[in-house]
Amino acid sequence: MTDLTDKVALVTGASSGIGQATAETLAARGAKVVLAARREETLTELVAGIVDRGGTATCVRTDVSIADDVERMVEHAIKTFGRLDYAVNNAGIEGEFAPVAELEEDVWDRVMGINLKGTYLSLKYEARAILEAGNGGSIVNIGSVNSFLGFPTGAAYVTSKHGLIGLTSSASAELAPKGIRVNLVCPGVIDTPMHRRLRGIVGDDVYDKALLPSVHLGRAGQPGEIAKAIAFLCSDEASYITGTTLSPDGGYTLTM
């Protein structure tokens, strides 16, 4: 198991799903973790749970689409734990699915604001903090299999996730010579609140008979399985991996 003892890690979108599992996994492996999301009460409960299990954690309410919030988030990490080593940019929303000819501008702006602009802002302030610490580090952005694959009515979500490939690749090229690795994790069908909402939209029949059979492993993944992949990319065990995408998707993209 990857040992992250005394490393300082920041996780956005940490109030549920993959973000929650990642924060808990990093803490279980010894990292001091900062949980960030918009739901402060939920974050407080998750921090208490981590501490009860012997971990070290704090939280800060953050809307990643607002620059001042993001700057304050990173400042909180530094003030609390002295530096920043790892960052996981997981915050994201699906928005509303609609044909592109009917997609409302405010939906487009909201999805881009969280998924793409929010990752850019987070990366911007995280990179500054890691550079100032001078010890190198790792940033992991969270995309989706929809970083490669489109689907009807998903223009805003898909575009935002496609954009993370370019952002990750560019940031890696810039930051790797300075000791910071930047990678993109693109999960497939994972049992999270977001995917449960998707199941409600498409219906159990489509989900069970069309979507899941396209997954080689024949099942949805669990958030903890993705968290382990993220922990690996954060760690020194991934010291020669940067600027790449890792797709823990049970083989889904191979069927497309």
Q: What share of the chain is helix, strand, coil (3-state, %, to 5)?
A: 55, 15, 30
- State the DSSP code for 139: E
Rounded Cα distance between 194 and 202, Å, is 13
- State the DSSP code for 140: E
Rounded Cα distance between 60 and 63, Å, is 10
Rounded Cα distance between 39 and 91, Å, is 12
Given a contact cutoff of 8 angstroms between Cβ atoms, the answer to whether 17 and 192 are in contact is: yes
Rounded Cα distance between 178 and 175, Å, is 5
Given a contact cutoff of 8 angstroms between Cβ atoms, the answer to whether 34 and 242 are in contact is: no
Cβ count near 40 (within 10 Å): 14
Whether 240 is catalytic: no
User: Which residue type does 250 have?
Assistant: G
Catalytic entry in 157, 207, 240, 252: 157
Supply the angle between the helices 155-175 and 105-112 in degrees, to the nearest 10.
Answer: 30
| Closest to 141 measured CA to CA, from 187, 92, 89 | 89
Rounded Cα distance between 181 and 25, Å, is 20
List active site positions: 157
